[in-house]
Amino acid sequence: MQSPMAFSPHLFVDQEVRSLLVRLRMIKPFALRESMVPAAALRPAILRQIDSFLAESRNRLQRMIGEYLQWLHSFDGQAAAPESAFRQFVTLRMLFNRVVYEQDIFADVLTQRSSHVIGVHLAGLDALARDALRINGDFYLLPGMVCYLDRGHGAAIRRVSTPMPGGGVSPVALIKIPRERMISSGVASSLVHEVGHQGAALLHLAESARSSIIEMRQADPTGVWEYWSSCLGEILSDLWAVAKVGITASIGLIGVVTLPRSLVFRINPAGPHPVPWIRVLLSIHFGRVLFPHPQWDRLEREWLSYYPTTGLPGKVVDDLHNMVDSIPEFTELLIHHRPTSLGGRMIREVLVSTGMQPEELMSHFRRWQEDRSQLGQVRPCIAFAVLGQARYHGLLRPETESSLLGQALSAWALQHFQDPIADCDAVQSAIRPPHQPLKPTATGRR
């Protein structure tokens, strides 16, 4: 019988590091361990991107562990002070936890695809995300867009090419949808807003628009334009949402910011979001300018009746009124802005699609009342815009809306599964990073 080895600090570290390596090798690619119906599954190109990214993180860590073990058993390693060897082990262990966290991020996303009904609906929301990211002109490749559900009040996005815990960058865009937004047309407001963050980043819209309001900031004694500049990222995403799904975006936003009165009027100069009361008025004015119709004045009156400014401190009222007064000029500046990334075209030219005027949307709805199967045959953004339009006018009950959307999401998921060229952008973006803008073209759509 072998006698037990005497304990030594280096032996303990050696065992712990080898344990990290064993656990790391137990992690298998998602392609080998996730089951779901084909319509709910991620496209093969997107799944390959995710698995390749995660494999690269694991391989990088394995190399670091191997190099550390080689050093630990070398003459220098054996002669090193225990504190020095242990400090390097702690660094490896922290990196191991970050790599495992990356696995968990994607595991949470993919496991939901195996859930009955929910998995297919998420694939349908992927289709909405892709449609919302398409603009008028070939200005970028569409990255992989993957939706998932989670707790929380608002949606969020981890944009493509943003840093991940293990040191790499995200190979796809991950969009978190709050469970309380499923399933109604309000989900489009949250989702398309997050897609707007991705689109604005691909086109560098915030940086470009911010530079265009420098003169306004310098000549403004009220500080309003400085405030617009600080909130520009969120405002551009709200503009993106209104341009893509019309009044659905504004009424969905109202649903998100329906909060206690103190929060609705809270002005936080350091925060990324405009004060909720003003944010809704901005969204409404975007719609008023892009899709003229009396409905926007009516919606504005309704919002103001929910949260009147009576009783607020005078300074707050003055600040809010200064913001309101500048909204028309600020809106004109944004929608007519011509960033370099768009080759001289205006933001409104590339965001707004045909068929989005309120009367056109209502015409769609009247036809769908006779044949509801048409809903799943149109672009997802148009479908959500139509349903939100009809619901605002009291022509669609929430129960019917939920049923219609469930059918449409399933139809879009199946269409995408059956599309033989649906992987094209995902494959190309894996070869050339999607944040590299394409050469602008004068015409055409992706």
Cβ-contact 338, 205 below 8 angstroms: no
pLDDT at 443 over 70: no
pLDDT at 434 over 80: no
- Mean pLDDT, range 116-120, rounded to an integer: 87
pLDDT at position 425 is 55
Q: How confident is the model at residue 213 (pLDDT cuts 50, 70, 90)?
A: confident
- At position 93, the amino acid (one-letter code) is R
- Summarised one tens digit per residue, pLDDT across range 361-373 is 999 898 888 777 7
- Summarised one tens digit per residue, pLDDT across range 224-264 is 999 999 999 999 999 999 999 999 999 999 999 999 999 99
pLDDT at 176 over 80: yes
pLDDT at 7 over 70: no
For the stretch 16-50, what's the b/e string if a residue is b when 16 or more beta carbons lie within 10 angstroms of its beta carbon?
ebeebbeebeebeebeeebebeebbbbbebbbbbb
pLDDT at 401 over 80: yes
What's the mean per-residue pLDDT of the chain? 87
- Summarised one tens digit per residue, pLDDT across range 86-103 is 999 999 999 999 999 999
pLDDT at 67 over 90: yes
- Mean pLDDT, range 331-338, rounded to an integer: 96
The C-alpha atoms of residue 157 and residue 179 are separated, in whole angstroms, by: 15
Look at strands 156-158 and 173-178 and give their pairing: antiparallel
pLDDT at position 216 is 79
pLDDT at 428 over 60: no
User: What residues have CB less than 8 Å from 310, skipping those under 6 apart?
Assistant: none
Cβ-contact 106, 144 below 8 angstroms: no
The terminus-to-terminus CA distance of the chain in angstroms comes to 72
What is the distance, to the nearest Å, from the Cα of residue 78 to the centroid of all Cα atoms in its chain?
49
Q: How confident is the model at residue 12 (pLDDT cuts 50, 70, 90)?
A: confident
Q: Percentage of residues in the chain with pLDDT exceeding 90?
A: 59
pLDDT at position 9 is 65
pLDDT at position 44 is 85
Q: Rounded to whole angstroms, what are the CA distances from 57 to 99, 134, 304?
A: 7, 31, 51
- Summarised one tens digit per residue, pLDDT across range 36-59 is 788 888 888 898 999 999 999 999
- Mean pLDDT, range 171-180, rounded to an integer: 90
